[in-house]
Amino acid sequence: MLRLDKVAKFYGTRLIIKDVSCAIEPGTVTILAGPNGAGKSTLLKIMAGLARPSAGTVDRTVAEDSIGYVGHQTFIYPDLTAMENLAFWSLMHGLDVREEDLLHALDRVELKRFAFERAGTFSRGMAQRLNLARVFLLQPSLILLDEPGTGLDVRSMAILHSEIAAARERGAGLVWISHSVAADLQRADMVLAIRDKRVDFYGPAADYTPEATC
């Protein structure tokens, strides 16, 4: 699905990451861990094809339009309603989605009653939930999540965890930068931890101790 071999990234003369190798398999969740500034977001963008590596190779066996990416920006259009946002993204991916499917997607993230309100009026947490509905509605084969829990309350976090589990169950591969690694290890299969610009740990989540690297 996705394989990185000795990937490195420079911004100018500043080294961000070096010699990162890993493989993302279908039906698995990989947590991307490490301290702030370790290069996790940069690595996720390289996985998504939004940034090019300075060295090494990135091999994907999934189509570009089958990659779902949730970054720090929500990628929603504030002048469109929640429904119009989902309809637009579905159209951009060539999907013929019925209104009831869009409403169901909003219901899953508890935004159905706000379906016809402009997304620009949403709180940060609501906008993030709409962004999650956008990604999970498209059912991509590879899902890349950069701290998707930012701005979410306890109930919204439960929705996020449920959607991650459902995506893994249907066979998607997920890479997840979590801001609560210790609590989310039980939801992961693998951990890729970055420290000092290199891979500090790569292996089963059951074998990872957060205190050792973070």
For residue 40, tell me if it sits in a domain: yes
For residue 211, tell me if it sits in a domain: no
Q: What's the rounded mean pLDDT across residues 53-76?
A: 89
Angle at 209 between CA 168 and CA 5, to 5 degrees: 60
Which residues, in sequence order, are bridge partners of residue 175? Answer: 30, 144
Helix (H) or strand (E) holding 160: helix 154-169
Query: First and final CA of the chain: distance in angstroms?
Result: 28
Whole-number pLDDT of residue 211:
64
For residue 159, tell me if it sits in a domain: yes
For residue 117, tell me if it sits in a domain: yes
For residue 214, tell me if it sits in a domain: no
Per DSSP bridges, beta strands 190-195 and 198-204 are antiparallel
Q: Which residue has the higher pLDDT, 211 or 132?
A: 132
Exposure string of 2-25, with b = 16+ CB inside 10 Å and e = fewer, is bebeebbbeeeeeebbbebebbbe
Q: What is the pLDDT of residues 154-188, one digit of tens each?
A: 888 998 999 999 999 999 999 999 988 999 999 99
Angle at 1 between CA 205 and CA 104, to 5 degrees: 85
For residue 213, tell me if it sits in a domain: no
Q: What is the pLDDT of residues 1-34, one digit of tens each?
A: 999 999 999 999 999 999 999 999 999 999 999 9
Are the beta carbons of 39 and 11 closer than 8 angstroms?
no
Share the mean pLDDT of the chain.
Answer: 92
CATH number, domain of 167, equals 3.40.50.300
Q: With 70 as the cut, is the pLDDT of residue 83 above it?
A: yes
Q: Using CA atoms, how far apart are residues 128 and 131, in angstroms rounded to an integer? A: 5
- From edge to edge, which strands make up the β-sheet containing 14-24? 14-24, 2-11, 55-60
Q: What are phi and psi of 53, to 5 degrees?
A: -70, 150
Q: Which residue has the higher pLDDT, 75 or 21?
A: 21
Domain, as residue range, for 32:
2-206
Domain count, the chain: 1
For residue 188, tell me if it sits in a domain: yes
Q: What's the rounded mean pLDDT across residues 47-74?
A: 90
For residue 8, tell me if it sits in a domain: yes
